[in-house]
Amino acid sequence: MPVRKRADERVARRAAAVTVVVSFAAVAIVAALLVPWAWVPGGHLVPASASSLFTPDQIARAERYSWWQRGLSWASYAVSLAVLAWFALSATGSRVLHALTQRRRWWLGVPLAALVVVVAQSLLTLPFGVVSHEVDRRYAISHQSFAGWGLDRLTSLAVSWVITTLVLLAVVGFARRSPRWWFAWAGATAMVLTLAGSFLYPVVVEPLFNTFTPMQDGPFKQSILRLADKEGVHVDDVLVADASRRTTTLNAYVSGFGSTRRVVLYDNLLKDLPPRQILVIVAHELGHAKNQDVLLGTTLGAVGSVGAVALLALVMDADGVRRRTRVSGAGDPASVGVLLALAAAGALLVSPLQNTVSRAIETRADRESLAATHANATFVRMQRQLALRSLQDPTPPALSQFWWGTHPTVLQRAGLPSSLRRVGD
């Protein structure tokens, strides 16, 4: 290899390493400054006891349901990772991807290879999904038919393939055009796609799964709009999703930011909870909007994606990785399996950090709700009702909650009002 070429490669690798450090440092700084790490400012959270909220039979039922769903979810996830590892590391998997990509233009081979990988994942995890849906039906979490469930699964598969293909096309395309510096172009694209995806998701993807209608005018809607004014949140309308066709659980959420931000309530939430409890839930969602939580999470993801792409470039540039995976680099269309496997491994490793941030943000939204409504007792009753409807495990395994828990446990949330009151006394 010419001396100048080796020098250029060393410069590019150093630049990628610096990008990793700067990107992850920026994420740490933004998180340190903007994430509300203190769940109870000036104090600490004391969870409620399970026996104060639920009967022994209710606890046992929730634990049985959670045991089934947790085991099925973990098994499905493990199989999904194994599929990616097979495509990335096995000789047979490598031959399949090479056969799909080498005899056609790269920009046709990449989508085809991505389709084969995501379909293989979907088919091999299908049995776990079927059993999981049957468990939901038996525990009355869902009344959706298997036909409707299957259609939702196909829609999700199509969305996953489109998003995966767009990302892969960007990575492979930039790597082919600039083998040394592709990480810079792909990192910038990843940042843009992350921001654009979060912005467009409510108006492009969510309507594929639910129908949204404006909440019916009336006194209750006016009370929600007054609450929004009180919290300083501009709300054009409140939308209702036809979620009851899929689930019996009760929920509300905020998605998007800027002009696509929306507050959405499940239709069964409006039917099955008293107005005062619904207002407490809405106040929580308005707390997210007030603090721009969707934008905060999107920003952390966008900045982190730059470092993730640079780290991916360093890994893909290693001779040992190329030999083991039988690809020439990120610009090789057959690298689809390797790229997806590395991305999945990274997502698994970063999940505890993401969910730690998520739990802190959710707790702040709970505090905003309590501050806006001053309805401590209603808040606790609402948390109990939501947990009963979703059969939420009051005491999930610590490692499971740490790694996968996006929200505090129901006992932690129910203990928040009294914990805040002790700080104020």
First to last CA, the chain: 72
Beta strand 252-255 with 238-241: parallel, antiparallel or unpaired? unpaired
Relative orientation angle of helices 336-373 and 275-290, to the nearest 10 degrees: 120
Residue 5 has what pLDDT? 67
Q: What is the pTM of this model?
A: 0.95
* Sequence-separated (6 or more) residues with CB below 8 Å from residue 248: 140, 141, 142, 143, 268, 389
- Nearest to 389, CA basis, from 247, 238, 180: 247
Q: CA dist 418 to 40, 246, 276, 376, 421, Å?
A: 10, 35, 19, 8, 5
Residue 266 has what pLDDT? 97
Give the rounded distance of the alpha carbon of 125 from its chain centre: 19
Beta strand 262-266 with 252-255: parallel, antiparallel or unpaired? antiparallel
Phi, then psi, of 256 in degrees rounded to 5: 75, 175
Residue 243 has what pLDDT? 96
- Nearest to 314, CA basis, from 282, 346, 288: 346
Domain ranges in the chain are: 3-211+287-424
Residue 3 has what pLDDT? 60
Beta strand 238-241 with 212-214: parallel, antiparallel or unpaired? antiparallel
* pLDDT tens track, the chain, 425 positions: 566 667 778 999 999 999 999 999 999 999 999 999 999 999 999 999 999 999 999 999 999 999 999 999 999 999 999 999 999 999 999 999 999 998 889 999 999 999 999 999 999 999 999 999 999 999 999 999 999 999 999 999 999 999 999 999 999 999 999 999 999 999 999 999 999 999 999 999 999 999 999 999 999 999 999 999 999 998 888 899 999 999 999 999 999 999 999 999 999 999 999 999 999 999 999 999 999 999 999 999 999 999 999 999 999 999 999 999 999 999 999 999 999 999 999 999 999 999 999 999 999 999 999 999 999 999 999 999 999 999 999 999 999 999 999 999 999 999 999 999 999 76
Q: How far apart are CA 187 and CA 184, in angstroms?
A: 5
Residue 4 has what pLDDT? 63
CA 402, 406, 410, 412 torsion: positive or negative?
Answer: positive
Q: How far apart are CA 323 and CA 77, in angstroms?
A: 27
Would you state the structure tokens that stand for residue 66, as one six-digit string?
């959670």
